[in-house]
Amino acid sequence: MALDIAPKRLPVPEQSAEERIKNFNDVVIGYSIEEAVAESARCLQCKNAPCIKGCPVSIDIPGFLKAIKEKDLEKSWDIISQYTNLPAVCGRVCPQEKQCEGVCTVGRIKGYEPVSIGKMERFIADWKAEHGSKVAPKVPEQTKGNVAVVGSGPSSLTVAGDLAKMGYKVTVYEALHAAGGVLMYGIPEFRLPKAIVRREIDNIKALGVKIETNVAVGRSVTIEELQSHFDAVYIATGAGTPHFMGVPGTSLNGVYSASEYLTRINLMHGYEFPKYDTPTKESEKVVVVGGGNVAMDAARSALRLGAKSVQVVYRRSLEELPARIEEYHHAVEEGVIFNWLTNPVEYVGSETGNIVGVKCIRMELGEPDASGRRRPQEIKGSEFTIEADTIIEAIGQGPNKVLLSAFQELKLNKKGYIDADPETGQADPEWVFAGGDIVTGAATVILAMGAGKKAAEAIDKYITEKKAAGK
């Protein structure tokens, strides 16, 4: 089928690979107005709009694209901001190929690429910040009730913004010194500039949301205190506790979890040493273990910090790689080397206890496991060693436990995450709602936001009914 539109999406300008590995600036430069208008014209304005169903916060995608096509950028912003409090973030880090763009009608036609929805969302959010009107949002009086939110990642920010718009007084408690969760301490500056995260958080604060940092709920404030002051509590404390391979040599100098490595770089400005006094190890030969976004971020950060060689070791193949495809392509362009079907079996140290290499074994794929992906199996006798002075493990994370261990009455599931209704986020006890990675395990920004959106509706219903019953 031939359509009267360009088959390929308009490429988005980016820093060249040679240039960008020398800095931590945003890799993607973004569309100009003319480019955005041209790309928006590729949208067919489908009546059934499958893209909306592919977006966990149900943004009116054809609506905001049509407004761009008509060069009414303020209207486009108004449409997007009805559905999301974090458009500049989502436009940058959503796995669009698995969400809105993955189901776009244009992309389903042979020879055509889906509309570049994520890049257009980012374009509008950035345009609004730089050129749009600065009129403060209209906020209803916040008299419907009081809600406490624990954690300040994307799930919490969504629930907080939505409840404030509905007329609730919301207080967010964050254990760290900066709000934003993984958006601040995990995803690096070159993919998600922190000024942009702060900008979107400021927009949420402008709705009346109060954010208190340096408060670890379960330690500095008890959950009982929150229960006595608030009508409901939303918990989105994330899955930030790193898992380790547990192979011999894990305690050698130079073996990091990606969590620690990236937090030092992002939240504590390790890449700006000595301006900020948080040194990160100077590495020449880095091996990153894992294949998700976290692994890509660690590998690409190591390159930018001056490593001569960065190799990723992943036990499955490219087909199963969980990272966003754009991040994988960027990593390859930047010179990261991928060792597919390979797993570490031992970290090798020097006499002084420093890491000097990683002994690996080749793998092959067997029958599918519980995740539906084919299970990797070791090929006997295939061991080999890669030289390394730094190992970064990025093999997954578990629940943040500070609050869970202090809140024994909270019902958890078999895996140790909060047991919450997938449609409403309501947990047990009933005044607690929960969402994001602390319910699902490590997932994505937009799924955490989708959970926050549903929970905001459910919390509103819960508090309204409770008040009507005079409780």
Positions touching ligand FAD (CB under 6 A) are 93-95, 150-156, 173-176, 181-182, 186-187, 216-218, 236-238, 240, 262, 293-294, 297, 324, 400, 402-403, 436-438, 442-446, 448
Instruction: Supply the minimum distance, in Å, between the C-beta of residue 273 and ligand SF4.
Output: 34
Instruction: Supply the minimum distance, in Å, between the C-beta of residue 467 and ligand SF4.
Output: 33
Q: Using the rule CB under 6 A, is 46 a contact of ligand SF4?
A: yes
Say if residue 279 is exposed, middle or buried (CB neighbours under 10 Å; 0-12, 13-18, 19+). exposed
Instruction: Supply the minimum distance, in Å, between the C-beta of residue 175 and ligand SF4.
Output: 26
Q: Which is nearer to ligand FAD, 240 or 376 (CB)?
A: 240
CA nearest neighbour of 397 among 281, 286, 244, 278: 244
Report the C-alpha dihedral over residues 201, 206, 207, 210, rounded to 10 degrees.
70
**Pairing between β-strand 210-212 and β-strand 432-434 as defined by DSSP bridges:** unpaired
Instruction: Supply the minimum distance, in Å, between the C-beta of residue 49 and ligand SF4.
Output: 5
CA nearest neighbour of 83 among 119, 57, 63, 118: 57
Answer with the entry of ligand SF4, ligand FAD, none that 150 interacts with (C-beta below 5 to 8 A by kind). ligand FAD
In the sheet that holds 432-434, the strands lie side by side as: 210-212, 169-173, 146-150, 232-235, 432-434
Count residues binding ligand SF4 (CB under 6 A). 27
CA nearest neighbour of 396 among 239, 288, 183, 192: 239
Let me know: does 147 contact 232? Beta carbons within 8 Å.
Answer: yes
- HSE-CB at 279 with a 13 A cutoff on CA atoms is 3
Answer with the entry of ligand SF4, ligand FAD, none that 425 interacts with (C-beta below 5 to 8 A by kind). none
Distance of CA 236 to the CA centre of its chain: 13
Q: Using the rule CB under 6 A, is 41 a contact of ligand SF4?
A: no
Q: Using the rule CB under 6 A, is 90 a contact of ligand SF4?
A: yes
Instruction: Supply the minimum distance, in Å, between the C-beta of residue 201 and ligand SF4.
Output: 17
For the range 365-372, what are the long-range contacts, defined as Cβ-Cβ under 8 Å and sequence gap of 24 or more? 365/316, 365/317, 365/341
Among 50, 167, 416, 441, binds ligand SF4 (CB under 6 A): 50
Cis amide leading into 274 (omega within 30): yes
For residue 385, the 8-state DSSP code is: E
Instruction: Supply the minimum distance, in Å, between the C-beta of residue 276 and ligand SF4.
Output: 32
Q: Which is nearer to ligand FAD, 146 or 377 (CB)?
A: 146
Q: CA 169 to CA 181: how far, in whole Å?
A: 21
* Residues 94-133 within binding reach of ligand SF4 (CB under 6 A): 94, 96, 99-100, 104-106, 115, 117-118, 121
* Residues 349-368 within binding reach of ligand SF4 (CB under 6 A): none
Residues 6+ apart with CB under 8 A from 368: 374, 375
Q: Using the rule CB under 6 A, is 36 a contact of ligand SF4?
A: no
Q: Using the rule CB under 6 A, is 446 a contact of ligand SF4?
A: yes
Q: Using the rule CB under 6 A, is 157 a contact of ligand SF4?
A: no
Among 10, 12, 27, 59, binds ligand SF4 (CB under 6 A): 59
Instruction: Supply the minimum distance, in Å, between the C-beta of residue 333 and ligand FAD.
Output: 17
Q: Which is nearer to ligand SF4, 51 or 410 (CB)?
A: 51
Q: Which is nearer to ligand SF4, 52 or 217 (CB)?
A: 52
Instruction: Supply the minimum distance, in Å, between the C-beta of residue 186 and ligand FAD.
Output: 3
Q: Using the rule CB under 6 A, is 305 a contact of ligand SF4?
A: no
Q: CA 171 to CA 186: how far, in whole Å?
A: 23
Q: Which is nearer to ligand FAD, 62 or 118 (CB)?
A: 118
Q: CA 321 to CA 288: how far, in whole Å?
A: 14
Among 38, 44, 109, 412, binds ligand SF4 (CB under 6 A): 44
Q: Using the rule CB under 6 A, is 43 a contact of ligand SF4?
A: yes
- HSE-CB at 161 with a 13 A cutoff on CA atoms is 26
Neighbours of 32 (CB within 10 A): 11
Residues near ligand SF4, by CB under 6 A: 43-46, 49-51, 55, 57, 59, 61-62, 84, 90-91, 94, 96, 99-100, 104-106, 115, 117-118, 121, 446
